[in-house]
Structure 1
Amino acid sequence: MLKALGIERIILATGAGGYARTIVYETAGIYLSPEEQTPENVLANMDQISNPDKQTELTAGWMQTDKFVAKAAAALGVDFSKKD
């Protein structure tokens, strides 16, 4: 129905006559180096992982990958802004 109206890429939640749009947001999260990637460290950092202050709407699957690669690159001192 929505596609026929030209409305695409939304999640429409419905129930008992109610209608709402579901939007997926993701927190900024953190980077942990390979040696830091333990269940204990994830749990210890859960407040920062869950902090909604810099959450963003993910409108495409690649956006999550881009965010995580950028965090890892920054932690490793890799600068992607330089173009050769």
Structure 2
Amino acid sequence: MSRHEDIHAEREREAKAALDRLASQTDTLGGSAFARMADKAVGHFTAEELGPEDKIELWGTRIGRVAGLIFAIGLVIYLVRVYVMQ
């Protein structure tokens, strides 16, 4: 093989490797993005960042976060009924 063919073959191998890495990262990001987002939401609403030391604070945080979610959903429903569905 000539030097030109060697350079071309090396570039082709690098391009194929880059495409393979991109394909594997895209599958990983796309496939597990929803799972990571769901895990993060569950962790937020269960207040897992607080730890089990103070049970009152833990349950108060959980109740407050769920109540906030319920309030936000109710507010969205109210606003849609009043301003969109007239």
Q: Give TM class, smaller chain.
A: under 0.3
Q: Higher strand fraction: Structure 1 or Structure 2?
A: 1
Q: With CA pairs under 8 Å and 6+ residues apart, which has the higher RCO, 1 or 2?
A: 1
Q: Higher helix fraction: Structure 1 or Structure 2?
A: 2
TM-score normalised by structure 1 residue count: 0.27
Could you say which structure has the larger radius of gyration? 2
TM-score normalised by structure 2 residue count: 0.26
